[in-house]
Structure formats: C-alpha cells, structure tokens
Amino acid sequence: MQLTIAHLSDVHLAPLRGLSPMHLNIKRALGFANWMMKRRKVHRREAVDALVADLARQNVDHIIVSGDLVNLGLPGEHVAALEWLEQLGPPERVSVVPGNHDIYCTLRRDPGVERWRAYMTSDAAGAPLAAQGERGFPYVRLLGKLAVVGLNSAMPTRPFQANGRIGERQLGALATTLDRLRQDGLMRLVVVHHPPLAGQADARRGLLDADRLEALLTTHGAELVVHGHNHVDMHATRTWPGGRVDVVGIASASVARAHQHESLGRYNLIRLNPADPASGIEIVSRGLTSPDGPVAEVGRRNLAGAPARS
C-alpha cells in the first residue's frame, strides 16, 4: 500500500509572542535584534499558511514537521506553536521533532517544547519497539509497515551558535530501535532537525556528533532520513550492509522573499510503498512560485529502490 507523507520544516512561526524581561538574555537579545532587522522580512506567516492550505488538498496520510517551529524559544511562542499544530492535525496524524530555535535557551521551570509532547511520542504500536533513550527520544510511530522514528538533536546553545547533539543515550537507543524495526520487516523513516551526516553544516551550526550518527546509520541502516535546519533542499546517500540510506533535507517553509541561497517556502510530498521498498521513493516538492504567487509543484525526483531487507 502506497503512503504519502508530507514533510515541512523551519516554519519559524510569526509573530513573536511573549518576549519579556523575565526571559531576556544575551542570546535572545541578539536573536530579537536579528529578527527585527532581517528575519521577520523573510520568514512570513502567510508563506506557511499558503503551504499548509495547499498541503490540505494533497490527501496525505501523515505530516512530519522537523523542527524550528518558533524563533526565540519563548514560552508564548511554544503555546502559539501548539495552537498551530492543533490546526495542522491531531497528534496521531502529525509527528514533530524539535529544532535549535525551539530549544533556544534554558527555560528553568517552564515546560517549553514539552507542550508538544502529544506530537513527539511513540504510539501504542510503536512504543514496544522504541528503546529507552533520553526524554522520550527516539520515539516510534507505525503507519502500517512504515516506522517513523523521531530524534531530538536540539539543545540550548550560546550566542552565535546553532549546534545540535544526539547524545550517548539516544544514539544507543537508536541503534537498538533500528535493529528491532528491521527484524520486524518495517521500513524505517528517521526524522531529525539537524543534517545527520558529517560535513553537512558548518562548525557553528552542525550536529556535534554527526560522525557518530552517520556511522550508526551506515551500520544499522534506515531506508530514509529527513531533516531541515539548512533551509535548502538537500539529498545525500550512504550505504549500510543491507542497502542504501537516502538522506533528504527540505528548505524552510516560511521564506516569502528571496534571501541569500534560500528558495521560497516549500514542502515535500514523500510517496513510498513500505511493503515493497524496492519500488523506490518519489519526492515531490511543492512551494511558492513567487512571493505573492500560488503554490505549485517545483520539483520531482525518484530515489532508487532499496534492496530487500535482510
């Protein structure tokens, strides 16, 4: 049975909500200045709304949001993001992982992204297959023969830093989880915010243990890994003893005007048949065709089919 999965990332929901002296520090002050001078002109809510309206007409089976729902990691932003998620779909239909802008600074007693926990937890079928990692990650959700595996790469960082880390416990749990899913004959779709391979982001912005995550993927395997963070479309491949790992990044969903190397807002439709991985994976990109223009297909590619899982 073919499934269609929608993947969007880096929505950077505007406007900012809840900035107060209580939550202001050097990192947020610099981030707020950057937002006011630059980012708010690029990342526009109307771009996100246009993509979501188009997505609603695509008859998708599941939606993945791979982080950076907000901008300064403020409690008010987290509340607004939860409201947006509830409009996007119920937790059983939407899977989320946090990004570096979501876990921007330490929040002390505030729950932060835990407000989104219903969208970031294993379902009843996937829970027995998810090894215990750290703070509920990795999680597993089953869509027939497809397993969606969510990772948390986000952590509080210093000013001018946007790094991520998977961490020892989560890496160990991921290895066990991927093996369990393979043994059950499931197709594995891993979701993470930061690009998962070494060298895919610079030292200030990259995953600090990308080399370890890459080594894990090339040992234990996954049929597809999706990510955001770099605000550009990306595709890389690696191999593991059972076949090929496709790693696909998506541009930001909120870009409403030309900005450096970034395309206008877009999202991906991922079409695959978990019961027959050898049939391949189709990626259809849909996005804004002009700042004020309609959303349309802007790209299409077919990833080679994976060999039968051993």
**Residues 162-197: pLDDT tens digits?**
999 999 999 999 999 999 999 999 999 999 999 999
Chain-centroid distance of CA 80 in Å reads 18
Residue 212: its pLDDT value, please? 98
pLDDT tens across 61-102, in order? 999 999 999 999 999 999 999 999 999 999 999 999 999 999
Q: Locate tokens 């996005």: which residue?
A: 287
Greatest Cα pair distance in the chain: 56
Closest CA to 141 of 217, 64, 66: 64
Question: Domain 3-280, what architecture?
Answer: 4-Layer Sandwich (3.60)
pLDDT of residue 305: 62
SS3 for 85-139 is HHHHCCHHHEEECCCCCCCCCCCCCCCHHHHHHHHCCCCCCCHHHCCCCECCECE
Sequential DSSP letters for 250-309:
---S-B-S-BTTBPSSEEEEEEE-TT-GGG-EEEEEEEESSTTS-EEEEEEEEEPPPPPP
For the chain, domain boundaries: 3-280
- If pLDDT is split at 50, 70 and 90, which confidence band does 276 have? confident
- Mean of the pLDDT values across residues 146-167? 97
Q: For residue 107, name the pLDDT band (cuts at 50, 70, 90).
A: confident
Q: What is the pTM of this model?
A: 0.96
Structure token pair of residue 49: 């709304």
